[in-house]
Amino acid sequence: MKKFLPIILVLTLAACGGGSGGGNVGNGGNAGVPGGGEIFNPDDFVKPEYNGNVSHDVVDSNAAVLTMHSSVFDETARTQYLIDAFGEEYYNALIAELSGKVNDAVVDAVENRVGSARDNGGKNFCKSERDCNQMIFDQMREVLDNLDNLDDMNNKDIRNALIAAGFGKEISGHWDDIKDYVKNHMNIDDIKNQGEEIYNTPGKGSGEFNLKNTDFKAMLTTIQNNVADIMTLQIDNDGRVIGVVFKDVGSGSSRESPAILYSGLKRNDDTNRFDFSDPDGEMPTSGEMEMISYAQDLGLRYSDFGVLVGAENAKITVTDEDGNVSERDLSGYKLPFAGGYDVKRIDDKKQIASNVTFYGFANGTVEPANASGAKALPIESKNATLTFNATNREEHLTANFDNWYKLDVIKNGMGQVIWVNTDDCGRRIPTEYVVKDTPLTDGVQNESVYFNTEFYGDDNIPAEAVALFQYQQKVMDTPKEGGGNLNIFLGFGGRTK
């Protein structure tokens, strides 16, 4: 393991409570944790039914590796695209017309620029934002498919179709002679091709986003500079998960970057197993890894968390900078990941108006110091919580592990971890997995922490949360760098009640 930038933490003791419990948190302040002893029951959640357009076969295939939905709808991006294309004033007039609620004042205000609104005779009125947007794009597609018959079409219909297809700037100023302008200045095949591309692009013509539109963070090693690895799902044209790739973002050494160490992860048919085989790579690999979602019982739609775990035959052949070759056994080795749909992620937590608690699971691994010779310890809590205080934007993760500690972590509104607590709750923790009150030092601060949370929901109202937590401290004096470090790798997923 590598050394990290110094960080100051406070490790203290707090009273043990239920798996979802807690209370005031000493020097961390009150993070809005519900009363101790509350029992979390995943059966209380009603799993939302999937209603997307991805085929049932693909949905069943993806369910073998992920709990989250294979696609989600989000009308916000599509509406914004149309507002940007048409201008807000005309977009509102167009929606009013299509919904049968024509506002004469609005239409008159734009009449000189875009032409009079056309009475559609009371047929095919749309009834919702999603329905109306879809009608705009369906009409766009119909017009563009028939551009060879320009003379038989309505000028306004042609204009609207071209604007929706992204040609608004090109046809600006040619409202009266739009047909002649299209014939003389625009390639009809190019128009049709761009229109079809717009129609099928999520956030433009399509309000449906599939797993290509997700973003995951992962922990492949101890994290440097508060930067996690980036994990990307490879998705085929049908929306099926077919592989996993990692991006080097400077979280590990350049020699053993995630992109090199974990290349070639291709999914085996519709299973949760991935071929870990890249025999010709810079670091040759062999064997398999399994993807396991820990969110099965939570009914998460927009997010997910879990691990990629090495099967018994998973190995990497590593060549160090001096040319020495060794084989690294990855059997049982877990790579935690967490993330979800970009369009459902709440990027600005300042927009969250009320305190919120997410109830869920925490799963991970305690990796003892290499010099101890002990095996990694899997840990799991089925009554974990993550709370968010809307006033000071403090976040508090608490999880009680039967075979380890009760863990409490607090991050302040500036994104700094200010409080980490482990309480043995009277349990006898094996020496190899004990967290010291103060890490050993050899002139530097031998301690590091990473805690990243992501909230997901509709209209900036959080309904789901995932998190990754990592903590490292030096617990043994060893001559080899990193050989004496204890590491905790943890993932969390939860949802509101």
Would the CA dihedral through 65, 357, 463, 353 be positive or negative? negative
CA distance 457 to 437: 38
Contact present, 56 and 73 (Cβ < 8 Å): no
Give me the tens of pLDDT residue by residue for the chain, a chain 497 residues long: 222 233 444 444 445 765 433 322 223 333 333 334 456 777 777 778 888 999 999 999 999 999 999 999 999 999 999 999 999 999 999 999 999 886 554 444 544 444 444 444 445 789 999 999 999 999 999 999 999 888 888 888 999 999 999 999 888 777 678 888 898 889 999 999 999 999 999 999 999 999 999 999 998 877 777 788 899 999 999 999 999 998 877 655 455 677 777 777 899 999 999 998 777 777 788 889 999 999 988 989 999 999 999 888 888 887 777 778 888 888 888 889 999 999 999 999 989 999 999 999 999 999 998 888 898 899 999 999 999 999 999 999 999 999 999 999 999 999 899 889 999 999 999 999 999 887 766 655 578 899 999 999 998 899 999 999 999 988 888 765 557 889 999 999 999 98
Please give the Cα distance from 23 to 32 (Å, whole number).
Answer: 8
In the numeric block, the tokens 């761009």 are attached to 194
Q: What is the pTM of this model?
A: 0.83
In this prediction, residue 440 carries a pLDDT of 67
Angle of helix 155-164 versus helix 178-185 axis, rounded to 10: 50
Q: Contact at 8 Å (CB) between 118 and 154?
A: yes
> Strands, E, within 303-443: which ranges?
303-310, 315-319, 325-329, 334-341, 356-367, 377-388, 395-400, 406-411, 417-423
d(CA 298, CA 188): 50
CA 148/CA 428 separation, integer angstroms: 80
**What H or E segment, with its residue span, contains residue 325?**
strand 325-329
**Residues 345/306, Cβ–Cβ less than 8 Å:** no
Q: Judge residue 174's burial from the number of C-beta atoms within 10 Å of its C-beta, 0-12 exposed, 13-18 middle, 19 or more buried.
A: middle
Query: Length of the chain in residues, anyone?
Result: 497
From the list 324, 351, 376, the residue with the least C-alpha distance to 460 is: 351
What pLDDT score does 481 carry?
56
Tokens of 182: 């299209």
The pLDDT of residue 247: 83
Sign of CA dihedral 108, 114, 119, 122: negative
